[in-house]
A and B are shown apart, each in its own frame.
Chain A
Amino acid sequence: MKTIAIIKGTHCNSCKLLIEDVCRDMEGVQSCEVDLQTGATVIEHDERFQQNLFKQEVEGLGEYKVEFNS
Chain B
Amino acid sequence: MEKSQFKKAKLKISGMHCASCEVLVERKFRKVAGIEKVHINHADGKAEIVYSKEPDLRELNELVRGDGYSVARWDDRGTGSVGINESKNTVVDYLQMIWIGLVLISLYFILKRIDFLPSFSISEHMSYGVIFLIGLFAAVSSCIAVVGGLLLALAGKYNEVNPGLTGIQKLKPHLYFNVGRIIGYTLFGALVGAFGSVLALSPRANGYLMVIVSAVMLMLGFQLLNLFPGLRRFGPKMPKFISHKIHDLSSVDNKGAPFTLGALTFFLPCGFTQALQLYVLAIGDWKVGALTMLTFALGTMPALFSLSAIASFAKGAFQKYFLRFAGVVVVLLAAFNINNGLILAGYNIDLATIFSTSTSGVSGGGAVAPIVDGKQIVKMKVDGYTYSPNKFAVIAGVPVEWQIDGAGAAGCGRVVVMPTLGISKYLLPEGITTITFVPTQTGTIPFNCSMGMMTRGSEFTVVPNTTGVVGAKVEKENTQAPSCDPSVATCAEAQKLKIEVSQERGIYPRELTVKRGVPVELTIDDKVALGGCMSVWVIPKYGVTIPMKIGVIKSSFTPTETGVLNITCSMGSIMAQINVID
- Residues of A that sit less than 8 Å from B by CB: 11-15, 17-18, 21-22, 36-37, 61-63
Which residues on the A side are within 8 Å of B76 (C-beta)? Answer: none
Which residues on the B side are within 8 Å of A37 (C-beta)? Answer: 169, 252-253
Given contacts A37-B169, A37-B252, contact A12 B67 (CB under 8 A): no
A11 to B253, CA, bound (A): 8
Instruction: Indicate whether B351 reaches chain A with its CB closer than 8 angstroms.
Output: no
Taking CB atoms and an 8 Å cut-off, the chain B residues in 51-108 that contact chain A are 67-68
29 A-B contacts (beta carbon < 8 Å): A11-B18, A11-B252, A12-B17, A12-B161, A12-B162, A12-B250, A12-B251, A13-B68, A13-B165, A14-B18, A14-B21, A14-B24, A15-B20, A17-B20, A17-B24, A17-B67, A18-B20, A18-B23, A18-B24, A18-B27, A21-B24, A36-B165, A36-B169, A36-B252, A37-B252, A61-B23, A62-B19, A62-B20, A62-B23
Closest to B250 in A: A12
Main secondary structure, interface of B, reads loop
Given contacts A36-B165, A36-B252, contact A14 B27 (CB under 8 A): no
Least distance between A41 CB and chain B CB atoms (Å): 15
The 3 closest A-B pairs by CB, nearest first: A14-B20, A18-B24, A14-B21
Least distance between A33 CB and chain B CB atoms (Å): 13
Closest to A22 in B: B27
A18 to B25, CA, bound (A): 9
Which residues on the A side are within 8 Å of B34 (C-beta)? Answer: none
Q: Mark B34-52, 1 if CB is under 8 A from A, else 0.
A: 0000000000000000000
Which residues on the A side are within 8 Å of B67 (C-beta)? Answer: 14, 17
B20 touches A12 (CB 8 A): yes
A38 to B191, CA, bound (A): 38
| Count: A-B pairs, CB below 8 Å | 51
Closest to B15 in A: A14
Instruction: Indicate whether B129 reaches chain A with its CB closer than 8 angstroms.
Output: no
Q: Which of A11, A17, A18, A22 is B251 in contact with, Cβ under 8 Å?
A: A11
Q: Which of B19, B28, B164 is A13 in contact with, Cβ under 8 Å?
A: B164
A11 to B17, CA, bound (A): 12
Instruction: Indicate whether B163 reaches chain A with its CB closer than 8 angstroms.
Output: yes
Least distance between A18 CB and chain B CB atoms (Å): 4
A22 to B30, CA, bound (A): 13
Which residues on the B side are within 8 Å of A61 (C-beta)? Answer: 20, 23
Which residues on the A side are within 8 Å of B250 (C-beta)? Answer: 12
Closest to A60 in B: B23
Q: Mark B449-473, 1 if CB is under 8 A from A, else 0.
A: 0000000000000000000000000
Which residues on the A side are within 8 Å of B23 (C-beta)? Answer: 18, 61-62
Which residues on the B side are within 8 Å of A17 (C-beta)? Answer: 20, 24, 67
Which among B20, B161, B252 has the greatest number of chain A C-beta atoms within 10 A?
B20
Which residues on the A side are within 8 Å of B20 (C-beta)? Answer: 11-12, 14-15, 17-18, 61-62
A13 touches B162 (CB 8 A): yes
Which residues on the A side are within 8 Å of B21 (C-beta)? Answer: 14
Closest to B24 in A: A18
Which residues on the B side are within 8 Å of A62 (C-beta)? Answer: 19-20, 23
Which residues on the A side are within 8 Å of B19 (C-beta)? Answer: 62-63
Which among A12, A14, A15 has the greatest number of chain B C-beta atoms within 10 A?
A14
Which residues on the A side are within 8 Å of B169 (C-beta)? Answer: 36-37
A44 to B251, CA, bound (A): 28
Least distance between A52 CB and chain B CB atoms (Å): 21
B163 touches A13 (CB 8 A): yes
Least distance between B39 CB and chain A CB atoms (Å): 15
Least distance between A47 CB and chain B CB atoms (Å): 26
Taking CB atoms and an 8 Å cut-off, the chain B residues in 218-265 that contact chain A are 250-253
A61-B20, A62-B23 are known; give 14 further A-B pairs, CB within 8 A: A11-B252, A12-B20, A12-B250, A12-B252, A14-B17, A14-B67, A15-B20, A18-B23, A21-B27, A36-B165, A36-B252, A37-B253, A62-B19, A63-B19
A14 to B68, CA, bound (A): 9
